[in-house]
Amino acid sequence: MIRPFLVLFVFSLLPLAASAHSLWIEELPEHSGLGVRFAQWGDDYETSPGHLDSFILVSGWTLDDKGQPQLFDVAKRKDHFFLGKVDHARPAFAQAQFTVRKLHDDKPARCPIFYCRWQPEGAGAGTPAMTMDIVPTGKPGEARVYFRGKPLGGVELLFFSPKVSEQKLQADAEGYVHAPDISTPGQYLLAVARYSEPLPGFLNGVAFEITSHSASLYWTVK
């Protein structure tokens, strides 16, 4: 079963530019399993103790032959959240709740939620499996952005690759986005950062006015 992580958030510990950092799933060194990483692409991974502790309620899962979720037993490690073993035939997913943020008195408090999809090579087209999901279409370098099960057109994404540290892309009116170049072997990431929804509520007793959604799709080209 999933073990949620409840941590104390101190605003002074997180002077990060949210647009520069992403959360994603990748295969760990020596094929030891899958892990959720938090970092600015190309920089050192965030660690615990440190910025990795700013995430709470981290969960992860894969899908069985019937498409039903099979939960990972998530464990926080030094520089990642460990999900479990790698199955190169199935995608993996993670969702991570961030504590409520209010950085300026004149700005509304935000409740950030992160959604991650790891896509193994050759897994083919996917279907939406998270509130916000960047779903592969089965065509090389093409994906479609979904929000609450419906295509999300016109949203801005960030593209990272072995050649590109950060490039802005925009989904078309039907939510499709195309990675500009996936010819180089290595790691690739498409990410939506801070898509705002006027959905207020409370988290751990703290009120917020905006729910903020961020999503990532990670894959490897060999």
Residue 84 belongs to a domain: yes
Tell me the H-state helices in the chain.
Answer: none
**Could you report the per-residue pLDDT of 39-55, keeping only the tens digit for each?**
999 899 999 999 899 89
Q: What is residue 52's three-state secondary structure?
A: helix
Total number of domains constituting the chain = 1
Flag whether 5 is in a domain. no
Which amino acid, 18? Answer: A
Strand 110-118 with 210-221, pairing? parallel
Indicate whether 9 belongs to any domain: no
- pLDDT score at 6: 31
Q: Does 122 have pLDDT greater than 50?
A: yes
Q: Is position 3 within any domain? A: no
Q: Which helix (H) or strand (E) holds 31?
A: none
Residue 46 lies in a domain: yes
Task: Find the domain containing 71 and state its range.
Answer: 16-221
108 alpha-carbon distance from chain centroid: 23
CA 83 to chain centre: 14
- Look at residue 48 and tell me if it is in a domain: yes
Summarised one tens digit per residue, pLDDT across range 5-62 is 333 233 333 333 344 689 999 999 887 899 999 999 989 999 999 989 989 899 999 9
Does 7 map to a domain? no
Average pLDDT of the chain, as a whole number: 89
C-alpha–C-alpha distance, residues 179 and 48, integer Å = 32
| Pick from 11, 19, 2: nearest CA to 212 | 19
Lowest-pLDDT range, 9-18, 123-132, 141-150? 9-18
Residue at 93 is within a domain: yes
DSSP symbols for 200-212: -EEETTEEESEEE
Residue 176 and residue 146: Cα distance in Å, rounded? 9
